[in-house]
Amino acid sequence: MEKKKTNAKFIIILSVLILAGGTYGTIKYIHSQGHEETDDAQIEKNMNPIIPRVSGYISKVYVKDNDYVKKGDTLFTIDKRDYQLKIEEANAAYIAAEGGFEVAKEDIGSALASIAVSDANVQSAGGNIETAKIRLGRANSDYIRYENLYKTHSITKQQYEQALAAKQEAESQVRILQQQQKASSFQKSVIEAKSRVSNKQTEVAAANIKKAKALLEVAQLNLTYTVVTAAIDGQVSKIDIQPGQLVQQGQSLFYIINNNEAWVVANFKETQLNKMVIGQKVTVKVDAYPDYDFEGTLTSFSPATGSRFSLLPPDNATGNFVKTIQRLPVKISLNASNDPEKIKLLRPGMNADVDVHLK
């Protein structure tokens, strides 16, 4: 009788276990037809790197580890004395460039005045030549007439010589004036050449002013960069800088985390992607806060598997190919309907379980 009683208990327990297992399996099977799940998921947030735009020694640090900051708050300052001296140097160069431009303008004005004088001299010489040619023509006519009269002994030799002298004097005067005209024209061409040089010098001086002004503006801008401020609202990471420390331009020093916006990156197996599409509803459970379900939306798929973005991506053409199921990063945006305070509690890198509703 005792043996039969024991067998009956065993059968009952086995039946319950089979029923429970079958029920659980059926529920999981039905659930899997409309859902895709993974526990390979992490919280992500925007991490704004703090990178100084100028090099220098830190003079003061205004934040501590994990402090909350507002946009525009001063994080730290860099010793500005070197940059103030550069502003003075650039300002002196700018003043010198302006002085050079004024000198070049004066040279141009002087050259233009000289050109005008030379042009007037050339024109005056031309008029004098025309007058001298008229006199030469009259003296030549008188000489021919007196020469004929002298041949007929109608005038004296003295009168003939006077006419000859007048003719020679007029010819000499024309030659002198022509030479003067050539000299004036040459002088004008020399002055015009100097004027062209002065124009080039003025253009160079104007360019030097622009360059000096740009350098002054750069120096003034660099001075403002000695005060490093927060670009966004958020929480700073660990601060690894101290007063007196030398920091380099472009050096990443620490981060500001934007706590107001978060999303999830879930790495699904490639065999799970068949029915997944953008816009599907997603339920996210974060390990740190298991009592709260975050609502999300499938936003986008990565253009390549995660292994392709690794430092040494696998190359299956080497002859040692072993087929391994790959995982594809999927971005899931957390909806605005979630509690904002809960979003702020999330930290980048936290683990999460993701359930995509396929239907």
DSSP letter at 319 equals S
Question: Over 50: is that where the pLDDT of 1 sits?
Answer: no
Decide if 50 contacts 227 (C-beta within 8 A): no
- 117: its two tokens: 């004088």
Angle between helices 157-224 and 81-151 (to 10 degrees): 170
**Residue 227 identity:** V
Q: How far apart are CA 339 and CA 150, in angstroms?
A: 133
Lowest mean pLDDT among 37-51, 167-181, 285-299: 167-181
Decide if 241 contacts 76 (C-beta within 8 A): yes
Question: Over 50: is that where the pLDDT of 283 sits?
Answer: yes
Question: Over 80: is that where the pLDDT of 178 sits?
Answer: no
Q: How far apart are CA 349 and CA 71, in angstroms?
A: 24
DSSP letter at 304 equals S
| Neighbour tally for 316: CB within 10 Å | 10
Q: Per-residue pLDDT tens for 106-139? A: 656 565 555 565 666 666 666 666 776 777 677 6
Q: Kindly report the CATH class assigned to 36-46+257-310+320-358.
A: mainly beta
Task: Give, in degrees to the nearest 5, the angle at Cα 84 between 81 and 85.
Answer: 90
Question: Where do the structural domains in the chain lie, given as residue ranges?
Answer: 36-46+257-310+320-358, 83-208
The stretch 192-220 carries a mean pLDDT of: 77
Domains 36-46+257-310+320-358 and 83-208 share a fold: no
What residues form DSSP beta bridges with 57?
246
Consecutive H or E run containing 275: none
Instruction: Choose the most confident range, by mean pLDDT, from 15-24, 88-97, 188-197, 258-267.
Output: 258-267
The stretch 177-202 carries a mean pLDDT of: 66
Question: Over 90: is that where the pLDDT of 282 sits?
Answer: yes
Q: How far apart are CA 200 and CA 203, in angstroms?
A: 5
The fraction of the chain above a pLDDT of 70, given in percent, is: 75
Question: Over 50: is that where the pLDDT of 143 sits?
Answer: yes
Assigned fold of 83-208: Helix Hairpins (1.10.287)
Q: How confident is the model at residue 151 (pLDDT cuts 50, 70, 90)?
A: confident
Q: Which long-range contacts (CB under 8 A, 24 or more apart) does 237-244 make?
A: 237/47, 237/65, 237/66, 238/65, 238/66, 239/61, 239/63, 239/64, 239/65, 241/58, 241/61, 241/76, 242/58, 242/61, 243/58, 243/59, 243/60, 243/61, 244/57, 244/58
- 274: its two tokens: 């068949």
Decide if 77 contacts 226 (C-beta within 8 A): yes
| Neighbour tally for 64: CB within 10 Å | 9
Q: What is the pLDDT of residue 209?
A: 83
Is 234 exposed, middle or buried, given 0-12, 13-18 or 19+ CB atoms closer than 10 A?
A: buried
pTM of the model: 0.65
Q: How far apart are CA 240 and CA 253, in angstroms?
A: 7
Within the chain, where are the H helices?
2-34, 81-151, 157-224, 340-345
